[in-house]
């Protein structure tokens, strides 16, 4: 009997010890890791870009179990999320449907518009149409051509300079401002309605379609990139807070962003001032720059300012400065100089869509933090840039518009970079 009790006691002790070990092992292991959402589209990603993006999602997304604030992802729009430019598409649609309203004074539309340009527009478009009424641009080829010459070439039809004066070349471009000022007189909702009509037309047109606007030939199609739509979907599933930050007019982006699951609260574009329910030629400022005539746009350094102000609630002059890593996007994607500052600010991944834009590609190929990814355009990619990008001499645009060497954060000069991903 004694031996039996000893065996029973020993068995009970072993069971208790075994249960304790199992419990300790479970406690040490913690909850089972969450399965990370995965990218589904493989075609179009260069090299191991998809794998690197997935690694970034796994490390920064909610499935990592790291906790803390939601990571932010920021995307440019035109030629980053979609192929082609929605501002061009909307302006073309409006010109072909008589939706541009005649201003009381062409000169007053834009602070940098020259007298030569104002006279050319007045001559081409006439004064018979009352101010505030639609110009007959669907049939008046001369008026349409003059508008497009000034917008696209920054010259009049006779070759005279259309914009002149001083501006900060890292914050604005007069022609970028002017296209938003051509939308003045419409309500934001009406402009979004026009953008939706242009969207329907451009999505229905076959890839490669071109259209005649006046005597000008313009792209006649736009496509969502399947790869970027998939990337945005996956980031959102991994609990990233995803924003669009575009140098197009915000009411236009509102017509397109829902196609990739981005709502109005996560859309940042050029914001023209509204008076009596209608868009004006004034533009909202950022940081310590008050409402302006377009001196500050969601352009280059201006994109950083708007991200800091709208997403991280940084106020005043500090919004122009690079913030600490906790107050910067984890991931950012862009395709041109207009995106170089905010894409460079990202802490875990920078995606450069290669459109042969020097300042962006200098930083992407230099890959200073080993987190840059370069990918060809997903539709009709650019050919290889024949000569190296002149990073060491002309890789940076100064505020006055002159070019200078591109430098790393430590001040060293980025050497010229060969184009290797195309």
Q: Looking at the predicted structure, is the pLDDT value of residue 313 above 50?
A: yes
Long-range contacts of 47-53 (CB under 8 A, 24+ apart): 47/421, 49/351, 49/373, 49/375, 52/349, 52/373, 53/231, 53/349, 53/351, 53/373
Q: Helix, strand, or coil here: 389?
A: strand
Q: Looking at the predicted structure, is the pLDDT value of residue 300 above 50?
A: yes
Structure tokens at 243: 């924003």
Domain presence at residue 409: no
* CA angle centred on 312, ends 84 and 289, rounded to 5°: 75
- Which domain, by its residues, includes 369? 49-84+221-404
Q: Looking at the predicted structure, is the pLDDT value of residue 31 above 90?
A: no
How large is the average pLDDT for residues 101-122?
Answer: 98
Residues 6+ apart with CB under 8 A from 393: 403, 405, 416
- Hunting for tokens 């929605």 — which residue is that? 86
Maximum pairwise Cα distance, the chain: 118
Mean pLDDT score of the chain, rounded to an integer? Answer: 93
Domain presence at residue 273: yes
246 within 8 A of 298, measured Cβ to Cβ: yes
Residues above pLDDT 90, as percent of the chain: 90
Domain presence at residue 185: no
pLDDT band at 5 (very low <50, low <70, confident <90, very high): very low
Long-range contacts of 379-385 (CB under 8 A, 24+ apart): 379/83, 379/207, 379/223, 379/225, 380/83, 380/207, 380/208, 381/354, 381/422, 382/354, 382/355, 382/356, 382/422, 383/422, 384/419, 384/422, 385/356, 385/361, 385/419, 385/422
pLDDT, residue 12, reads 40
Q: Give the other-Cβ count within 10 Å of 69's Cβ.
A: 8
Domain presence at residue 420: no
Look at the chain and report how many structural domains it folds into.
Answer: 1
pLDDT, residue 65, reads 85
List the CATH number of the domain containing 314: 3.40.50.1000
- Hunting for tokens 């060969």 — which residue is that? 418
pLDDT, residue 68, reads 86
How large is the average pLDDT for residues 119-132?
Answer: 98
Domain presence at residue 189: no
Residues above pLDDT 70, as percent of the chain: 92
Distance between CA atoms of 101 and 189, rounded to whole angstroms?
16
Domain presence at residue 277: yes
Domain presence at residue 143: no
How large is the average pLDDT for residues 34-62?
Answer: 96
Give the pLDDT confidence of 167-202 residue by residue, as tens digits: 999 999 999 999 999 999 999 999 999 999 999 999
pLDDT, residue 63, reads 87
Give the pLDDT confidence of 361-393 residue by residue, as tens digits: 999 999 999 999 999 999 999 999 999 999 999
Q: Length of the chain, please?
A: 422
Q: Looking at the predicted structure, is the pLDDT value of residue 21 above 60?
A: no
How large is the average pLDDT for residues 96-112?
Answer: 98
């Amino acid at each position: 009997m004694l031996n039996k009790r000893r065996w029973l006691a020993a068995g009970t002790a072993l069971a208790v010890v075994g249960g304790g070990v199992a419990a300790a092992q479970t406690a040490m292991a913690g909850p089972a890791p969450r399965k990370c959402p995965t990218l589904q589209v493989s075609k179009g990603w260069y090299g191991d870009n998809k794998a690197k993006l997935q690694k970034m999602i796994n490390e920064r997304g909610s499935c990592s179990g790291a906790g803390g604030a939601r990571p932010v992802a920021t995307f440019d729009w035109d030629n980053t999320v979609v192929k082609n430019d929605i501002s061009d598409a909307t302006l073309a649609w409006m010109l072909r449907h008589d939706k541009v309203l005649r201003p009381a004074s062409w000169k007053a539309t834009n602070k940098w518009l020259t007298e030569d340009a104002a006279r050319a527009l007045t001559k081409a478009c006439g004064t018979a149409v009352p101010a505030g009424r639609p110009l007959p641009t669907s049939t008046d080829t001369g008026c349409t051509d003059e508008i497009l010459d000034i917008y696209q070439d920054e010259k009049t039809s006779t070759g005279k300079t259309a914009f002149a004066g001083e501006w900060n070349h890292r914050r604005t471009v007069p022609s970028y401002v002017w296209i938003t000022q051509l939308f003045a007189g419409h309500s934001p909702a009406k402009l979004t309605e026009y953008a939706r009509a242009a969207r329907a037309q451009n999505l229905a047109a076959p890839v490669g379609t071109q259209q005649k606007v006046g005597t000008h030939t313009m792209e006649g199609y736009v496509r969502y990139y399947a790869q970027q739509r998939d990337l945005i979907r996956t980031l959102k599933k991994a609990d990233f807070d995803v924003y669009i930050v575009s140098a197009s007019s915000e009411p236009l982006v509102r017509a397109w962003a829902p196609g990739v699951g981005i709502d109005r609260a996560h859309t940042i574009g050029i914001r023209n001032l509204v008076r009596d329910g209608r868009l004006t030629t004034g533009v909202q400022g950022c940081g310590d720059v008050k409402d302006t005539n377009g001196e500050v746009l969601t352009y280059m350094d201006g994109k950083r300012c708007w991200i800091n102000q709208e997403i991280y609630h940084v106020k005043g002059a500090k919004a122009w400065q690079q913030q600490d890593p906790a107050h910067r996007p984890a991931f950012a994607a862009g395709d041109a100089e207009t995106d170089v500052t905010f894409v460079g600010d990202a802490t875990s991944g920078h995606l450069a869509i290669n459109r042969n834009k020097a300042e962006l590609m200098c930083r992407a190929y230099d890959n200073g933090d080993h987190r840059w990814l370069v990918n060809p355009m997903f539709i009709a990619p650019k050919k290889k840039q024949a000569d190296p990008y002149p990073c060491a001499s002309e890789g940076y645009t100064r505020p006055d518009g002159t070019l200078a060497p591109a430098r790393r954060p430590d001040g060293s000069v980025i050497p010229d970079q060969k184009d290797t991903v195309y």
